Structure 1
């Protein structure tokens, strides 16, 4: 399916929920709608599905204008934050329901195949109420996949699951989407999900489309400070800086020499960004040392997040593995100066780190 949004906008009363935006979704690929709560993800998704009409603009499917066409006349599958299953039907019958409507043959075989892919084949004879929340969400996902719709919309489908289940399902979904034939739109507030799912990412903020493109490109080269903030978890470290003939002077007096010249005359006041993952506690050749004091250290999954007071201000370092720090203890953080982002005073990206490897 080729889905194209042309100058879509949405107003509700005096409030603007979506500002003018154009987007052409890539067929048989995942498009992630990334943004904080109330960024406009659900509003945009409902317009794509035909549940709501835009105030202006057009929705085209394979070149045909379907603006205003109700959802019942479109072939769309949807999965919501709150899983929705038929409570009186078994898991097997829930998954089979769209297959029966299409009159498919070998329904039992197809149901078992989908159930096995989502690891719920042992629950086929149970009712949804007899399953955990994560298992019920898998049933809803299996039913959506069984529908075989050319457009599948998933509105934060993992947000209500516990950490371990989210991690498992993220990996499974990326594999399922890659093997499918549907155009998938997946809404999330979490940058990690966007990176894992790959495909394309549209960054939304307060109803505006800030950037849209291949996920790796948007992550590594955010077009603005707003995009960098939205596509960073933990938040990107931001430091005021001044451009000089020799490079940059950061808040606190630290001086850096960027790997390429900056247009100093046009943008003397800058903001330097450094992702938390770029900070380390082990030094490498060419690193810059940053002395600090530990204000907080928290372990999340397989990473440790260290908040430290430094001459640059408070910074957050994301360290791989489990590390222990005494509160108030001295810590030296290191980073490669080639890993900085530089943003102009109006927020536009001026310099991004050079990419290495396949990502």
Structure 2
């Protein structure tokens, strides 16, 4: 009976340095799972343990109830795709895709041919089957590596930031195809990424990692909309979430000597005391979205153009503000401008960093991205 994969209190220490600590994670058969975390969060370490490339220092790994903790990669039915385009340079695309099937030695030549061509068609590689990897674009090389992993029909498919080395346009193109490529596969799929937007686009379930620890696991949209802690909110926001310390008294919170925030909606239940309010950067805007928005008079520190958007880093008194606004804007250092925050979009965290109140979000809102 398929029970999926279970990591039970898994830890890994290398040279006295903690890479992973007390990871408990259950991955259901046929599930799509995202490991979201910044660089050095422990994503690759965790993938390597699941693949059997490394062995945990503590804890157990079970596949369908069988303890495989000490099994090496050759004994596990696993396929892995890396950031680097890992292909055999002297083999054609066809032979690259066919290589794991030939190695297994279980299929006839006709069966191998059918499976290679079916997988190549799914990844739009048919025109390139006779070419060598060096004759391909970066996107085509990564498609080839993915095809080689998929053709095995392994019970566990691991993808370690597979789009990280592609240019922006290719990343967008492959991201939109990913969901279709992985749809209805019986394998457990684990996809590691540093990008919140990628996690939202791919869906499934997300496990948030930080400094080797698992912070929160759940349906991707739920984790985005209700981060259990301030740290999860930060990991699931790019650029980072604005965080402002406030004192709640009565039915209002004071953001600065000049700005008072009336508490309504989901914030109405906050008891008196200190909190940290979080606001994602794309909810801090140059114009109000409703008459309940709070105006923050700000001084521009620096601006960054990012594609068709502008990141404005500014200050309001002691508060640091980061706004992500559509279009190309140019505000020189020191420019005074007004930024608007919607109370409906604010998260409230306790002084210890636990979520106290979250906005009533919608799927449509999250589809804007984790900006």
1:80-128: CA deviation from partner (whole Å, max 9, x where unpaired): 1222111221001111223343415443343233223323322111111
> What's the offset of the Cα at 1:312?
5.8
Structure 2 residue aligned with 1:191: 196
Structure 2 residue aligned with 1:297: 303
> What's the offset of the Cα at 1:345?
0.8
> What's the offset of the Cα at 1:6?
0.7
Instruction: Identify which of 8, 14, 17 aligns with 2:16.
Output: 14
Q: What SS is found at the alignment partner of 1:235?
A: coil
For residues 154 and 126 of structure 1, what CA distance do their matches in structure 2 show? Answer: 24
Structure 1 residue aligned with 2:225: 220
> What's the offset of the Cα at 1:203?
0.8
Task: Detail structure 1 runs of 4+ shifted over 6 Å in the superposition.
Answer: none
1:240 is the counterpart of 2:259: no
> What's the offset of the Cα at 1:223?
0.6
Change beyond 3 A, Cα 1:253–1:342 = farther
> What's the offset of the Cα at 1:253?
4.2
Structure 2 residue aligned with 1:262: 270
Q: CA RMSD in A?
A: 1.9
Q: What SS is found at the alignment partner of 2:150?
A: helix
For residues 191 and 360 of structure 2, what CA distance do their matches in structure 1 show? Answer: 29
Q: What SS is found at the alignment partner of 2:183?
A: helix
Structure 1 residue aligned with 2:61: 59
97-106 or 19-28: which moved more? 97-106
1:334 is the counterpart of 2:336: no
For residues 28 and 285 of structure 2, what CA distance do their matches in structure 1 show? Answer: 37
Contact 1:294-1:325 at 8 Å conserved across structures: no
1:11-31: CA deviation from partner (whole Å, max 9, x where unpaired): 223222111121111321221
Q: What SS is found at the alignment partner of 1:129?
A: helix
Structure 2 residue aligned with 1:36: 38
Contact 2:123-2:147 at 8 Å conserved across structures: yes
Structure 1 residue aligned with 2:107: 103
Change beyond 3 A, Cα 1:113–1:297 = farther
> What's the offset of the Cα at 1:262?
1.4
306-315 or 82-91: which moved more? 306-315
Instruction: Identify which of 293, 299, 304 aligns with 1:287.
Output: 293
User: Gapped runs of 5+ residues in structure 1?
Assistant: none
For residues 253 and 55 of structure 1, what CA distance do their matches in structure 2 show? Answer: 54
Structure 2 residue aligned with 1:80: 82
For residues 119 and 10 of structure 1, what CA distance do their matches in structure 2 show? Answer: 39
For residues 305 and 184 of structure 2, what CA distance do their matches in structure 1 show? Answer: 34
For residues 154 and 325 of structure 2, what CA distance do their matches in structure 1 show? Answer: 41
Contact 1:3-1:25 at 8 Å conserved across structures: yes
> What's the offset of the Cα at 1:187?
1.1
For residues 211 and 264 of structure 2, what CA distance do their matches in structure 1 show? Answer: 33
139-148 or 296-305: which moved more? 296-305
Q: TM-score, normalised by structure 2?
A: 0.90
1:269-326: CA deviation from partner (whole Å, max 9, x where unpaired): 2211100111222322322222223333333233332223324623111223x23233
Contact 2:119-2:151 at 8 Å conserved across structures: yes
For residues 322 and 124 of structure 2, what CA distance do their matches in structure 1 show? Answer: 37
Contact 2:308-2:328 at 8 Å conserved across structures: no
For residues 363 and 44 of structure 2, what CA distance do their matches in structure 1 show? Answer: 34
For residues 253 and 68 of structure 1, what CA distance do their matches in structure 2 show? Answer: 62
For residues 357 and 13 of structure 1, what CA distance do their matches in structure 2 show? Answer: 44
> What's the offset of the Cα at 1:357?
4.4
Instruction: Identify which of 341, 349, 353 aligns with 1:347.
Output: 353
User: Gapped runs of 5+ residues in structure 2?
Assistant: 367-371
Instruction: Identify which of 162, 166, 179 aligns with 1:161.
Output: 166
Q: What SS is found at the alignment partner of 1:277?
A: helix
1:3-52: CA deviation from partner (whole Å, max 9, x where unpaired): 01111111223222111121111321221111111111111111111111
